[in-house]
Structure 1
């Protein structure tokens, strides 16, 4: 399905796109293979994190990147959910594993609900005809800054950059303005919080019984 017309890019994206191209080129020179499946994921994550002006529409229109997007989702959820515990001095127990698994499931549900809300609102409010997959793939790569969330000193940068990449992904795919993209993002977060308030006790109870 054809995407809506692309919005006018932010002025600084010319520079960040050039930086992303330079970073991926340097990787290639070092022997990294960007044309492999895993190489494609890494280069797109770099481009997404650096607000490359074409990457979000690129993955939105590329059904072959669907598997990559799910891998990105799994990688980020696994890192955010399990890394803090792996670096602590505690040891694994059945209860701790259950809590970690529940948190990962909740994060996955929240992720998918947010994509669905944004897709539905974009179609109703903006008149676009986007599919869930077209919204899922760009928003998966928009979470690239989260890969640095395990570094406490980077928390502010991760938050600010994450807001920017999510806004850029929504803008690029829906063709809306920055204000509309921010509005869609805020409403989706509110919707996710409501859904998670309902789903959390159920998921934790189900996971505890396994």
Structure 2
């Protein structure tokens, strides 16, 4: 979900985690009272998310209030955490594809020897292959129509569950511009699954490169599917 409440804004920014937490509590706290004066950062945050939700519904559900008049039950903690988890995975997938679109140097380009039809076919095949890599990064659950929102792929907690999708993350970013660490190609070692400490060091290199690249081209740090 993105903040479009300021229609004069030059860019669309993803919501902060603090905003998501506040949105999840609106069912119990209710919306900010129109015209009320904010006395502290917490109240300012309350007002911001109220404005965001009202703006979103005005654009997508005209005439429908985002705040039902009846009192809602509190969202169970586990359910709220799962929702945050799902949103994080969606954001991660979207941001990964967005950066890949901007910095991928393997993308087919027009040339004097390539026809328009050939270029279109090459681009379609290339896009398909990139989507497949992202799907593998998320353990086969990257497709938005089938995503399961469980801890698969590089979002898994255990190294043995992450080691298989990590090469896809590596291959995806291998064609990205930017300076890569000396151990960048460590993923080519077929025995890396048997060396957790060595593999996790390589994993941190991949994540650092991704975070830095995202920051360089987008301007802010990305959402990650797990704590590295």
Same fold (TM over 0.5): no
Q: Which structure's residues are more often helix, by fraction?
A: 1
The structure with higher relative contact order (CA 8 Å, sep 6+) is 1
TM-score, structure 1 as length reference: 0.31
TM-score by length of 2: 0.29
Tell which structure's C-alpha radius of gyration is larger.
2
